[in-house]
Amino acid sequence: MNIRRSSNGFAFLVLLTGLVMVIVFNLTGIASAQPKLKVGILHIGSIADAGYNQAHAEGAQVMKKNLPSVELIEVENVPEGADAERVMENMIRQGAQLVIPASFGYLDPALRVAKKYPDVKFVHPGGYKLAPNLGTYWASTPEAFYLMGVAAGKTTKTNKLGYVVALPISFFLANVNAFHLGAQSVNPKVETRVVFTGTFLDPGKEATAANALLDQGVDVVGVIVDSPITVVQAAEKRGAFSVGYHYIGVQKFAPKGWISGIAFTWGELYTRFAKQVMDGTWKSEALLGDLSSDYLTIAPFGPGVPSAGVELVNAKKKEFISGKLNVFQGPIKDNKGVERVKAGEAFPIAALGKMDWLVEGVMGQAK
Amino acid sequence: MVGSSLQGLLSGSIIAGTPLLYATLGEVMGERAGIVNLGLEGVMLMGAVVGFSTTVKTGNPALGVLAAALAGALFNMIFGFLVIERRANQLASGLALMFCGVGLSALLGAPYIGSQIKGLNEIRIPILSDLPVAGATLFHYDILVYLVIPIAILIWWALFYTRWGLSLRAVGEKPTAAFAAGKHPYRLQYQALFIAGLLGGIAGAHLSLAVANTWAEWMTAGRGFVAVALVIFSKWHPLRAIAGALLFGGAIALQLQMQARGVPVSPFLLDMLPYLLSLGVLAVWGGARRHAAPASLGQVFRGTE
C-alpha cells in the first residue's frame, strides 16, 4: 500500500515536471522563433500526376522550403462539394490560417467555409468570385500557348500539328487557337487538328486519340487533360514531338520528342501569400498573371527544337511582355469562314470565357 | 492518305477492342455458369493496378500481366464467396465488388501514379509485318493482342466441345439437373469465376501496360460495364464476342479518327457513336431469341433441399 502510494507520488512528480517543461519550451518557442503558419492545401487528384495537381503540390513544397516556419497540411483526392468543405474545416480546426483549395470546383465550398471562418484566409485558383477573406489567382495562358505554337511551327516536318483536349470549353479553345496562331505566324503552311476526348481522365482513350492524330501525319501533339503522361508517351513511342501543359517536369516522359511546355510554377506566389498572411498585409484580390509573372513559365526546350525557334520564342515573349504583340489581333476568321475579329482590333482577353469558335486553319468542331 | 486512315482505324479498333474482348470472354464464362458479375470493372482495375505496380517494381511487363491475372482471379474469388458460399444477391454483390475494386485499386496505385514503365513490347511477325497494306497495321502489336483470338477460340472449344464445358453450361441452365447428373455446381461456378477473374485481370493489364502505359485512378472508365453489355450483345457466345468487341472498339476509334480527320460533326455527337451503334445493333438483333441467356442466370443454386 505504502509502496504504491509512493510510486504514485513519483509518477505525479514526473508528470508535473514534464508539464512544466512543455509549457516553458512552448513559451520560449513562441518568444524566439518566427510565428508559425499552418497552410492547408486540397488537391482534386493525385499529386504525382505530372499535371495540374503536381504543379500545385510542388508550389506548396517550394513555399515550405522558402519559409521554414510554414507547416503544411496537404490532402489529395478530395471530391468537390461537401467533402471539400469538411476537409477545409478540419484543416482550420488543426490551426490552418491560410487555405488553398486548389481546384476550380472548390470555389463554392470554399466560399461557404470562408464565410464561417472570417479570420482564415483563402486563395483559390482561377475563380471568378471574391470574398473579404477569399482571393483568387491564375495566369492568362493564350500568350504562352502562342509561344508553344511558334516552337512547334519551327519544329514540325509534316506541317501538321495536333491537340488532344478534354472538352471544347472556351478557355481550352482559346489556348488551341493561340497555339495555331503562333504556329502560323512562323509557318504559314501549318494546320492544327483537335480531338476532344470528352473526359479529363481516360488514358485508354487519350492514347487512341493521340494515335488517331499521328495516323493523319501529325508530328507535334499537345495535350490539355488532367495528366499529360499518356499522350506525351504515345507521341514519343511513334517518334513524334510533344508539348506539355501544367507541370514543368513532363520532359522525362518524352526525352527525344519534347518541344517545351506551359508550366505553372506556383512556389514564389504561394510564398508571398504565406508571408502576407503572417505579417497581416494579405488582402483579397483577383490576381491574373501573364508571361512576366514568376508563376507562368515556359518549360525547358527539348533537343528537337531548332535554335532559330528558341530565339523566336524568346523574342516574341519579350514582345508580349512589352505589350507590342497581341495573340488575338485581327483580322481573324473562324474555321467556318466567319469573321470574328476585325482588322485593327484585338479580341479582349477579358472575353476569353465567351470564345466558342476555332480559328481558320484548325480542323475541329467547337460545339 | 485514305489507306493510312483505314489502317489507323483498324489498328485503333483492335487496340481499343482487345481489353474489352478479354473482359467479355471472362464474363461469358461466368454467365454460362449462371453468374452475372457486375463487378467486372473492379476486377479490371485490380488487374490494371497490380500489373502496373509489378512492372514498376520488376521492370518486367510479362510478370506484370501474370500478377494482374492472378490478382483479378483472387479478387473475383471474393465475389464467388459472396454469391456461391453466402448465396448473396449477384447484382448487389457485383456492384459492391466494383466499388471495392475502385477504392482498393486507388489505394494500391497511389504510390505508382506518375511512374514510368517500359510497357509490353510490340512484336513484329517477320514476313507478315512487311506486307504493304495489311502488314503495317495487322502485325505489330503486343503479345496480348495476338493471344486474344486464340483464347476466344479456346474458350469456345472448352465450353462447347468438352465434358467440362457441358457440365458448366448445364449448371448455368439447370443446376439441379447438373447436380442430379453427379456434377458439382458450386465447384464449377468457382472454376468459371476464377477463369473470368484471370481474363478480367489481363484486360486491365492490357490497358495499363500496353495501351496507356500509365496507371490512373478508375482508368477503366466504364469498360467493365461495356463488357457486361457486350456479353448480351454477343449472346453468350465467345466467338461472337470477337465481333462485338471489335465493333465497339471500332466505334471508339472511329469517332476519334473522324475528329482527327476534321469531319464536320459535333464532338459531343461523335462521343455517342459507340453507344448509338450498340443500341442500333441490339434493336436489329434483339428479335432473335434462339441463343438467349442461360436459363438460371442470376439465380442461386440452393442445393437439393
Of A228-237, B197-206, B261-270, B275-284, the range with the lowest mean pLDDT is: B275-284
Residues A223 and A359 both lie in one domain: yes
Q: Are residues A146 and A134 in the same domain?
A: no
Do A156 and A218 share a domain, yes or no? yes
Least reliable range by pLDDT among A22-36, B123-137, B244-258: A22-36
C-alpha cell belonging to residue A78? 478530395
Residue A271 has pLDDT above 80, yes or no: yes
In a domain, A190, yes or no: yes
Question: Is the per-residue pLDDT at A190 higher than 90?
Answer: yes
Rounded CA separation A343/A351 (Å): 18
Position B181 in a domain? yes
Question: Does residue B99 surpass a pLDDT of 50?
Answer: yes
Domain count, chain A: 2
Residue B141 inside a domain? The answer is: yes
What are the φ/ψ torsions at residue B123 (nearest 5 degrees)? -110, 125
Same domain? For A180 and A56 the reply is no
Helix pair A170-186, A307-322: axis angle to 10 deg: 120
For residues A131 and A148, state if they share a domain.
Answer: no
Site from B213, B254, B269, B271 to mutate, A interface, most A CB atoms within 10 angstroms = B213
The number of folded domains in chain B is 1
pLDDT of residue A153: 96
Tell me if B259 and A365 make a contact (CB, 8 A cut-off): yes
Rg (CA), chain B: 20
In a domain, B255, yes or no: no
Mean predicted confidence (pLDDT) in A10-37: 58
Q: In sequence order, what E strands does chain B have? A: 122-124, 140-142
Which residue in B has a C-alpha nearest to residue A194's C-alpha?
A: B260
Sheet hosting strand A70-75, strand order edge to edge: A70-75, A37-42, A96-101, A121-125, A134-139, A286-289
Residue with the bigger pLDDT between A8 and A65: it is A65
In this structure, are A45 and A190 located in the same domain?
Answer: no
Q: Answer whether residue A306 is part of any domain.
A: yes
CA distance A259 to chain B (A): 19
Using the 8-state DSSP alphabet, how is residue B81 labeled?
I
Please check whether residue B2 touches A, CB under 8 A: no
The grid cell for B156 is 469456345
Buried b (16+ CB within 10 A) or exposed e, A4-43: eeeeeeeeeeeeeeeeeeeeeeeeeeeeeeeeebbbbbbb
Regarding whether A193 and A336 lie in a shared domain, the answer is yes
Tell me whether residues A212 and B257 touch, CB distance under 8 A. yes
Judged by CB atoms closer than 8 Å, whether chains meet at B4 and A253 is answered as no
Q: Which of A13-27, B27-41, B181-195 has the lowest mean pLDDT?
A: A13-27
ipTM surpassing 0.85, yes or no? yes
Q: A163 pLDDT exceeds 80?
A: yes
Q: What is the C-alpha to C-alpha distance for residues A45 and A26, in angstroms, rounded to an integer?
A: 37
Residue B149 identity? I
What is the residue range of A237's domain?
142-263+295-363
**Residue A118 forms part of a structural domain:** yes
* Angle formed at CA A85 by CA A83 and CA A88, multiple of 5 degrees: 110
Q: Which of A103, A122, A139 is the last residue of a domain?
A: A139
Does residue A318 share a domain with residue A172?
yes
Q: Which residues of A touch B211 (CB under 8 A)?
A: 203-204, 207-208
Chain A positions touching B262 (Cβ under 8 A) are 193, 363-364
Touching check for A194 and chain B: CB below 8 Å?
yes
For the segment A195-252, what is each residue's pLDDT rounded down to a tens digit? 999 988 899 999 999 999 999 999 999 999 988 999 999 999 999 999 999 999 899 9
* Residue A228, C-alpha cell as written in the block: 499529360
- A5 belongs to a structural domain: no
Please give, one letter per residue, the 3-state secondary structure of B202-238: HHHHHHHHHHCCCCCCCCCCCHHHHHHHHHHHCCCCH
Cell 516536318: give the residue: A157
Same-domain status, A302 and A209 = yes
- Cα angle A303-A292-A120, degrees, rounded to a multiple of 5: 115
Is residue A85 predicted with pLDDT exceeding 50? Answer: yes
Q: B10 and chain A: CB distance < 8 Å anywhere?
A: no
Interchain contact A24–B (C-beta under 8 A): no
Q: What is the DSSP string of A188-199?
A: TT-EEEEEE-SS
Residue B2 identity? V
Q: Does A17 fall in a domain?
A: no
Among the candidates A92, A122, A139, a domain finishes at A139
Q: Does the CB of A57 have a partner CB in chain B at under 8 Å?
A: no
User: Parallel, antiparallel, or unpaired: how do β-strands A339-341 and A332-333 relate?
Assistant: antiparallel
- Residue A224 CA to residue A150 CA, distance in Å, equals 18
In a domain? residue B261: no
Q: What is the DSSP letter of A49?
A: S
> In chain A, pLDDT over 90 holds for what percent of residues?
80
Query: How crowded is residue B169: how many other Cβ atoms within 10 Å of its Cβ?
Result: 19
pTM across the whole model? 0.86
In this prediction, residues A176-187 reach a mean pLDDT of 96
User: Mean pLDDT throughout B29-45?
Assistant: 96
Question: How many Cβ atoms are within 10 Å of A1's Cβ, its own excluded?
Answer: 5
Share of chain B above pLDDT 90, in %: 60
What is the model's pLDDT at position A37? 94
Please list every residue in chain A whose beta carbon sits closer than 8 Å to the beta carbon of residue B116: 252-253
Q: How far apart are CA A278 and CA A36, in angstroms?
A: 8
Residues 6+ apart with CB under 8 A from B91: B36, B38, B298
The CATH number covering residue A325 comes to 3.40.50.2300
Q: Are A93 and A103 in contact (CB under 8 A)?
A: no
- Please count the other Cβ atoms lying within 10 Å of the Cβ belonging to residue A338: 9
Q: What is the pLDDT of residue A1?
A: 39
Q: Encode pLDDT of A113-157 as tens digits.
A: 999 999 999 999 987 889 999 999 999 999 999 999 999 999 999
Residue A111 has pLDDT above 60, yes or no: yes
**A285 in a structural domain:** no
What confidence tier does A6 reach under pLDDT thresholds 50, 70, 90? very low
SS3 B297: coil
Whether residue A132 lies inside any domain: the answer is yes
Q: Kindly state the cell numbers that stand for B145.
A: 493482342
> 3-state SS of A315-346?
HHHHHHHHCCCCCCECCEEECCCCEEECCCCE
Q: Per the CB < 8 Å rule, is B114 touching A49? A: yes
Please give the grid coordinates belonging to residue A114.
470562408
pLDDT at residue B291 greater than cutoff 50: yes
- Residue of B273 and A59 predicted with greater confidence: A59
Please give the single-letter amino acid code of residue A97.
Q
Residues of A in contact with B8 (CB under 8 A): 211-212, 215-216
pLDDT at A93 (0 to 100): 96
Which residue's entry shows cell 505504502?
A2
Kindly report the backbone phi and psi dihedral angles of residue A246, in degrees, each rounded to the nearest multiple of 5, phi listed first. Answer: 85, -70
Domain boundary among A104, A120, A139: A139
Residues 82-141 of B with CB under 8 A from A: 106, 110, 113-114, 116
Do both A65 and A163 map to the same domain?
no
Chain-chain contact of B116 with A363 (C-beta, under 8 angstroms): no
Is residue A289 assigned to a domain? no
pLDDT at B135: 47
Interatomic CA distance for residues B290 and B240, integer angstroms: 14
| DSSP structure class, residue B84 | I
Q: What's the pLDDT at A81? A: 87
Same domain, A148 and A163: yes
- Between A310 and B10, the higher pLDDT residue: A310
Distance from C-alpha of B186 to C-alpha of B175, rounded to nearest angstrom:
9
CB-nearest to B259 from A195, A227, A233 is A195
Residue B246 touches chain A, beta carbons under 8 Å = no
Q: Out of A194, A204, A253, name the one closest to residue B16 (CB).
A: A204
**Of A283, A13, A257, A267, residue with least CA distance to A132:** A283
Q: Which of A130, A108, A109, A132 is nearest to A120 (CA)?
A: A132
Q: Are A358 and A328 in contact (CB under 8 A)?
A: no
The confidence score (pLDDT) of residue B278 equals 75
Q: Could you tell me if A364 and A358 are in contact, meaning their C-beta atoms sit under 8 angstroms apart?
A: yes
Q: In the predicted model, what is the mean pLDDT of residues A270-276?
A: 96
B237 found inside a domain = no
**A190-194, A214-218, B286-290 — which one is most confidently predicted on average?**
A190-194
For residues B198 and A209, the answer to whether their CB atoms sit within 8 Å is: no
User: Is B95 within a domain?
Assistant: yes
Within an 8 Å CB–CB cutoff, is residue A147 touching chain B?
A: no
User: How high does pLDDT run on average in chain B?
Assistant: 88
The C-alpha atoms of residue A166 and residue A156 are separated, in whole angstroms, by 23
Q: Tell me whether strands B140-142 and B122-124 are parallel, antiparallel or unpaired.
A: antiparallel
Say if B232 falls within a structural domain.
Answer: no
3-state secondary structure of B13: helix
CB-count exposure of residue A158 (10 Å: 0-12, 13-18, 19+): middle
Residues of chain B with Cβ-Cβ distance to A212 below 8 Å are 8, 12, 253, 256-257, 259-260
pLDDT for A200 equals 86
Q: What's the domain range around B28?
A: 22-224
A109 and A192 assigned to the same domain: no
